[in-house]
Amino acid sequence: MYEAVKNYSIQNTSRIKVVNFVVYPQDTEIVTKFKEYFQEISTDGSTASSASTKSQPGKSQKKKFRHRNVKKESVPDTWSPMGDEELFKIVPVTNGPEYDDIQATFRQNLPSYRIIKIERIQNKTLYHGYQVLKRKFEAENPNITNEVDGLWHGTAEGAVRGINKSGFNRSYCGKNATLFGEGVYFAKDIQYSASDAYSTPDHLRIKRIYQCSVLVGKVMRGQNGLKVLQESYNSAVDNIQRPKIYVIFHDSQAYPNYLITFSNQ
């Protein structure tokens, strides 16, 4: 993997700037490989020769390859403790501000429903990917609000495991809404996402909905059949001035903060 990046950088000197590798502690074989590569680089002067269009005739340009200790990605303060090698955890939320906020939303907007349980999704892999994309959006769109918290996504029981583990997959799009594009839909209005069309009841009439953080970035007006956003746009909406529905086309653009299981029985 490292050699492939090094070779690409030699052949494309004007394209590649910085490459960051994320390796988890349990990937012992990969960690060993990296240590071997870095040891080789250290002993040969930490440089690699590469031809450059800007170099003088008869000379080669030296490009340095460096490794450094990367600060651990932080996780939300609300998360329960996790071990360094623990990447995924579902935590029941039974009280406190998190529970109270969600319960208040249900009481105000879905008074006929009762909450069965609230679960916090602690998925380091998903969260770190989301944070990387968030930094990219903020760099590209410094003067707008790139992130919207508290959006809702209704789902069926069969999709829960996949969303908790791997996030929101666009391959599911088209099963429900496609009016504003063939992506993954999120709504400001909990009543919209909690409807049976999106939060599909199981055989016991139990329903499920996610409260999410979504990177919306620069938005464009969605349309039926939209599969790819226009260049420089990050998401589609139902209304540019007052969006109530957001559609994303990148799997890392949303993070499922909480899964709420509820029923009207």
134-179 confidence digits (pLDDT tens): 999 999 999 999 999 999 999 999 999 999 999 998 776 556 668 9
CATH 3.90.228.10 domain locations along the chain: 88-263
Map residue 16 onto helix, strand or coil.
coil
Query: What's the pTM?
Result: 0.74
Nearest to 190 by CA among 113, 81, 90, 87: 113
Beta strands in 156-244 (DSSP E): 184-187, 207-215, 219-221, 235-237
- Bridging pattern class, strands 147-155 and 207-215: antiparallel
Is the pLDDT reported for residue 33 higher than 90? no
Is the pLDDT reported for residue 1 higher than 80? no
Phi-psi region of 205 (alpha: psi -120 to 50; beta: other; left: phi over 0): left
Q: From CA 18, how far away is CA 55, in angstroms rounded?
A: 21
- 197: which 2 tokens? 């069309």
Is the pLDDT reported for residue 240 higher than 90? yes
* All residues at 6 or more sequence positions from 257 whose CB lies less than 8 Å from its CB, including other chains: 120, 121, 210, 211, 212, 213
How many beta carbons lie within 10 A of that of residue 94, not counting itself? 9
Q: Is CATH 3.90.228.10 correct for 88-263?
A: yes
Q: If residue 92 lies in a helix (H) or strand (E), which one and from where to where?
A: strand 88-93
Q: Is residue 137 within 8 Å of 146, Cβ to Cβ?
A: yes
Q: Is residue 214 within 8 Å of 254, Cβ to Cβ?
A: yes
45-61 confidence digits (pLDDT tens): 544 444 444 445 555 45
